[in-house]
Amino acid sequence: MYPVIRFAKEMLKFRSAPKLGPLDAHVSTHMCWPWDLDPWAELNNGRTLTLYDMGRIPLVVRTGMVDALRAQGWGITVAGNSTRYRRRIRAFHRFTMLSRMIGWDHRFIYLEQSMWRNGECCNQMLLRGAITGKEGIVAPDRVLEAMQIEQEAPELPDWVAAWIAADAQRPWPPLQSPDTASPGPAAVTDAQRSRDAGGA
């Protein structure tokens, strides 16, 4: 279930917070609750991505992006991400979340988010977002213009550029679908046994 109450709490907490520039960081503090855990009693990896909403959405509100999107009738969507996990977060652990936009290219915006405890980074996510309109993806430069911001796109870090290049090599749609997937060894063995039994 989506953490609606926690999300509302974050939005209320920062409703009067100072505005941020497009590349400024939003810092927030959170708690890992028992219902965030996986069977190994640590913050579930999928829940981690959900909790990142608690930092990313207040970030885009504070930069003024959400107001610009509403005025133009645009939306925002996640177009890809890559997450690295390094330290466990367990029940009742408090952690600090850092959310910031790294930059943009001709189609997408790129954000970095991370969770920290005791000065150590527990996990980090690189996210690619797209602004969408009736004609499809809206160029980030148009979004900045709608936000009344004049700023050149910063050069993306090498590791971000490398991820973009690597992701561009991924075939899409995937080469296998449920209709074309090969059966696993166990399925082949069962099929063979069935044929053998029928031929006896």
Q: How far apart are CA 159 and CA 56, in angstroms?
A: 21
The domain that contains 16 carries what CATH number? Answer: 3.10.129.10
Q: Which domain holds residue 145?
A: 4-199
Q: How far apart are CA 48 and CA 156, in angstroms?
A: 25
In terms of pTM, does the model score above 0.95?
no
Q: How far apart are CA 30 and CA 28, in angstroms?
A: 7
The one-digit pLDDT tens for each residue of the chain (200 residues) are: 899 999 999 999 999 999 999 999 999 999 999 999 999 999 999 999 999 999 999 999 999 999 999 999 999 999 999 999 999 999 999 999 999 999 999 999 999 999 999 999 999 999 999 999 999 999 999 999 999 999 999 999 999 999 999 999 999 999 888 888 776 655 545 555 555 555 54
Q: Tokens standing for 42?
A: 């640590």
How many structural domains comprise the chain? 1
**Residues 107-124 as b or e (16 or more Cβ within 10 Å = b):** ebbbbbbbbbbeeeebbb
